[in-house]
């Protein structure tokens, strides 16, 4: 699945061959996708594929992917930028489809991020730290409720 910076979630139909190449093209980063270092860091059954230079290039923050990854990890992580693809993985490290419970996590967290951003337009958070804490609390609640 793909989570865009605007918190929209789309399913990915990856071919059996060249999955990584398709993901790299999808993220707009055929030469620089960080993937291997994220295996198991956020969730043992998921791989996050992140544009390797997204933050340096000024790509928009991806709060939905950040909230999801942070909730899976149990702590606020550094912000992610640009589109993020999430796949499942086998014990051998092969990419697979994402398990149903993890798909539900991504969808519900993205929906909550969209709703929270809409609310923040009417009632902005008092600080960046408060915003981060609020989003992480919502994402953690969403994951606990959808498991």
Closest CA to 48 of 15, 88, 92: 88
Name the residue with higher pLDDT: 100 or 15.
Answer: 100
Report pLDDT for 41.
Answer: 65
Q: Which two tokens stand for residue 8?
A: 């929209």
Report pLDDT for 34.
Answer: 56
Tens digits of residue pLDDT in 50-105: 887 788 889 999 999 999 999 999 899 888 999 999 998 888 878 888 999 999 99
**pTM value?**
0.88
Q: Tokens 């992480």 map to which residue?
A: 136
For residues 92 and 77, what is the distance between their CA atoms, to the nearest angstrom?
Answer: 26
Strands 9-10 and 2-3, sheet pairing: antiparallel
Report pLDDT for 10.
Answer: 94
Tens digits of residue pLDDT in 107-146: 999 999 999 999 999 999 999 999 999 999 999 999 999 7
Per-residue pLDDT band for 29 (boundaries 50, 70, 90) equals low
Report pLDDT for 132.
Answer: 94
Please, what is the Cα angle at 106 between 138 and 139, to 5 degrees?
10
Q: Tokens 């990419």 map to which residue?
A: 95
For residues 80 and 62, what is the distance between their CA atoms, to the nearest angstrom?
Answer: 5
Closest CA to 48 of 21, 84, 15: 84
Largest CA distance in the chain: 48
Report pLDDT for 32.
Answer: 58
For residues 71 and 68, what is the distance between their CA atoms, to the nearest angstrom?
Answer: 5
Per-residue pLDDT band for 38 (boundaries 50, 70, 90) equals very low
């Amino acid at each position: 699945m793909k989570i865009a910076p605007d918190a929209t979630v789309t399913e990915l139909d990856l071919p059996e061959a060249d999955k990584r190449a398709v993901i790299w093209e999808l993220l707009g980063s055929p030469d620089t996708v960080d993937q291997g270092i994220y295996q198991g860091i956020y969730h043992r059954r998921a791989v996050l594929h992140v544009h390797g230079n997204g933050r340096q290039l000024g790509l928009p923050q991806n709060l939905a992917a950040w909230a999801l990854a942070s909730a899976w990890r149990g702590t606020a992580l550094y912000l992610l930028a640009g589109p993020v693809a999430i796949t499942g993985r086998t014990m051998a490290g092969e990419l697979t489809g994402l398990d149903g419970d993890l798909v539900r996590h991504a969808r519900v967290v993205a929906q909550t991020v969209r709703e929270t951003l809409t609310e923040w337009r009417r009632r902005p958070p008092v600080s960046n730290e408060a915003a981060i804490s609020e989003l992480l609390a919502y994402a953690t609640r969403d994951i606990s409720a959808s498991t």
